[in-house]
Amino acid sequence: MADTTLPVIEGALLKVAGDRGFATARDRLEVMSPQCGFGELGTCCRICYMGPCRIDPFGNGPKTGVCGLTPDAMVARNLLRDTVGGTASHVGHARHVLLTLRDALNGKAPYQIKGVSKVMALAKTFGVPTEGREVNDICRDLVNIALEDFGRQDELPNNWMSKRAPAEEQALWSDLGLMYSNPHNEIETAMHATSMGNDADPLSLMLRVLKMSLIDGWTGLTLCVDLQDILFGVPEIAVTEAAVGVLEENSVNVAAHGHNPVLSEKILEWAEKLEGDAIAAGAERINVVGVCCTGNELSMRHGVKLAAHNSQTELILTTGAVDAMVVDIQCIWPQLAQVAKCFDTAFITTDAMVRIPDAIHIPFEPHHADESAREIVQKAIDAFRRRRGKPVDIPRHKSTAVAGLSVEAIVDLLAKLDAEDPLKPVIDNVANGNIFGFVGVVGCSSIKFRDNAMTEEMVKHLLRQNVLVLTTGCTAHICAQDGLMTSEATYRYCGDGLKAVLEVLGKAAGLDGPLPPVWHMGACVDNSRIVDLMVALAKRLGVKVGQLPAVGSAPELVQEKAVSIGGSFLALGVSCHIAPAPRILGGPMVTKLLTEDLQELTGAVVRVELEPKGAADWMIAHIAGKRAALGI
Ligand code: BF8
């Protein structure tokens, strides 16, 4: 990147790794560069064994694959497989939570229902009777409705989508043939359609991309989050801290990394239960810290401190201060086991799907959650015993951060201003321009963009223009580490209109200052919370979601999951900024479809901007267009 504004925390972490002689992902990327141009354009196909085929759309080489597949079909097919990868990850996570909830209700898994209010709200949505019934019975009905979605073969609309998604948008999706029934069947169909000799029509393939993304949105995210809230509680506003400085030299540091709170909630519980053992081992306490999305889950519900986002995971291990890193699913770099080995850190995998050479594998499944969690925390205490007296190097940087902004927490807060009509203060301030618009800044942290602080800089440009930023995933870590989830950030970065609104909200929340301008709404699955908030605002205004002055942005895309999440925003009519470019540029028709013509289908477009200011400027202009269309 031309501009180097390396965030101070990254700088400190890279110095520790360098001082201690570790090569990092940056070094591995450098050796790898330049990366494959065909891959970047999306015109590399290795689906059949007549290939691999490579099309250079700008040169004089082959214009189709050996089978005659066109570049547009090739990029669309590859994009669909990316989307399947993302959707399968979230749907798998959702199903695991569903089965855990079912087993908990049947007394076969040691979890209790903590989100009674969520059970009641969902019962209303799904028409489940509540009068005179036990919470667990109501919940069993909800579980059965969810289970039906995973088993049905009748092609009737998916329960969760048809009851949770807004009706007008569903009518559009129905017209476009995007409604779905059983998510598993659709994942199978998409893999089948993209295997050699099936769908070769780029438009048909791109509609499949949108359909797969909707499955991600309504089953992978919404169903998952609804059920997680039932099991673990609906997040409430809480103050936490973020960045590597949350590690404590004299405590047993347990880093929970991955995505699924079914594991991390138990680790937290057993860390409390085994505190005495840790003290007996010479530690001050057990310090559970959060990494990536499971960290976000813990910070949202318990105020657990956030240690690192994805591109910092290997770096925090080089401090030598992490006694155990326990991981579940998704975004776990194999390299972590190698770094852990150098420090005698207990790097513990727990899911049969995530086996990594040199890791300690302790199978964790909900039926025996307590036994496994106890063993894992015990391993951390043992590792602390071995670490005592050895040098650690923990950069002191950290920031306070406000987390826990679930839609329910936001509405509760707004109800203090207007109990009858909680969304009215927001609507009024959007109408008068104090809130110019909303951007959901979501997704990953990428070493390709960290050196110019892409996310932080882009967010600051948005705040100056009175845009409220909603965030999840690793971008939430980035914002938290940079102090963007503090009252000071409101004073320092926001335009006057947004500052005034946040001052009123901060007072209502009982904070010492204004509410922060970047709202931590959770993990990547919690993007459904951003959607829920937008749906509620649109409903209150009587418009479609796509008409709101709102945009999505994934400024540091890494994972397939971010692709399918982006697709779910597009299907809702919410335009998305993205960096780097998705791997479609070798297909001119697909590129035009996503950047222009999609406007005619769903009302949304994709925009690639690689620099923070360019990205913010485009979003501001796009929001201005939406405002003008609304007449505000
Ligand atoms: O689901 S933001 S790098 S940790 S994919 Fe992964 Fe990306 Fe981080 Fe969470 Ni989301």
**CATH number for the domain that contains residue 220:** 1.20.1270.30
Rounded CA separation 456/475 (Å): 9
pLDDT at 2 over 70: no
Beta bridge partners of 239: 402
pLDDT at 3 over 70: no
Residue 166 lies in a domain: yes
CA of 472 to the centre of ligand 1 (A): 9
CA of 52 to the centre of ligand 1 (A): 30
CA of 175 to the centre of ligand 1 (A): 32
Q: What is the pLDDT, as a whole number, of residue 57?
A: 82
Q: Are strands 437-441 and 550-554 parallel, antiparallel or unpaired?
A: parallel
Residue 33 lies in a domain: no
Other Cβ atoms closer than 10 A to 591? 21
Mutation pick for ligand 1 pocket among 310, 528, 556 (CB with most ligand atoms within 8 Å): 310
Whether residues 222 and 127 share a domain: the answer is yes
Give the residue numbers spanning the domain of 599: 407-630
Rounded CA separation 152/183 (Å): 9
Question: Average pLDDT for residues 199-221, to the nearest whole number?
Answer: 98
Residue 5 lies in a domain: no
480 contacts 520 by C-beta, under 8 angstroms: yes
pLDDT at 227 over 50: yes
pLDDT digits (tens, 9 = 90+) for 334-379: 999 999 999 999 999 999 999 999 999 999 999 999 999 999 999 9
pLDDT digits (tens, 9 = 90+) for 82-104: 999 999 999 999 999 999 999 99
Mutation pick for ligand 1 pocket among 298, 444, 472, 526 (CB with most ligand atoms within 8 Å): 444
Mutation pick for ligand 1 pocket among 524, 526, 527, 578 (CB with most ligand atoms within 8 Å): 524
CA of 442 to the centre of ligand 1 (A): 9
Question: Average pLDDT for residues 184-204, to the nearest whole number?
Answer: 98
pLDDT digits (tens, 9 = 90+) for 557-586: 999 999 999 999 999 999 999 999 999 999
Sheet bearing 360-361, strands edge to edge: 360-361, 346-349, 324-327, 252-257, 286-291, 305-308, 238-242, 399-403
Rounded CA separation 327/389 (Å): 26
**Residue 506 Cα distances to 92, 237, 414, 495, 517, angstroms:** 38, 11, 11, 16, 10
Residue 26 lies in a domain: no
CA of 22 to the centre of ligand 1 (A): 24
Question: Average pLDDT for residues 237-262, to the nearest whole number?
Answer: 98
3-state secondary structure of 572: coil
pLDDT digits (tens, 9 = 90+) for 386-434: 999 899 999 999 999 999 999 999 999 999 999 999 999 999 999 999 9
Determine which residue's CA is closest to atom 3 belonging to ligand 1: 444
pLDDT digits (tens, 9 = 90+) for 255-300: 999 999 999 999 999 999 999 999 999 999 999 999 999 999 999 9
Q: Is the CA virtual torsion 613, 619, 621, 624 positive or negative?
A: negative
552 contacts 578 by C-beta, under 8 angstroms: no
Q: What is the pLDDT, as a whole number, of residue 4?
A: 66
Whether residues 432 and 538 share a domain: the answer is yes
Q: What is the pLDDT, as a whole number, of residue 393?
A: 95
Question: Average pLDDT for residues 7-11, to the nearest whole number?
Answer: 93
Whether residues 451 and 544 share a domain: the answer is yes
Q: In which band, very low, low, confident or very high, does the pLDDT at 1 lie, cut at 50, 70 and 90?
A: very low
- Name the domain boundary from 199, 232, 265: 232
- What CATH code is carried by the domain that includes residue 335? 3.40.50.2030
Whether residues 502 and 573 share a domain: the answer is yes
**Which of 16, 14, 28 lies closest to 335 in space, CA to CA?**
28
DSSP structure string for 385-427: HHHTTS--------EEEEE---HHHHHHHHHTT-SS-TTHHHH
- State the virtual CA torsion across 134, 136, 142, 148 in degrees, nearest 10: -120
Residue 76 lies in a domain: no
Give the position, in ligand 1's atom list, of the atom nearest the Cα of 259: 9
Dig out the tokens for 54 from the structure.
């490579």
Whether residues 328 and 446 share a domain: the answer is no
Residue 66 lies in a domain: no
Q: How many domains does the chain have?
A: 3
Residue 11 lies in a domain: no
Q: What is the pLDDT, as a whole number, of residue 59?
A: 79
Residue 401 lies in a domain: no
Give the position, in ligand 1's atom list, of the atom nearest the Cα of 330: 6
Ligand 1 binding site (Cβ under 6 Å of any ligand atom): 259, 292-293, 310, 331, 443-444, 473-474, 523-524, 558-559, 561-562
ipTM (interface predicted TM): 0.96
Question: Average pLDDT for residues 48-74, to the nearest whole number?
Answer: 94
Q: What is the pLDDT, as a whole number, of residue 58?
A: 82
Distance of CA 604 to the CA centre of its chain: 21
Whether residues 436 and 372 share a domain: the answer is no
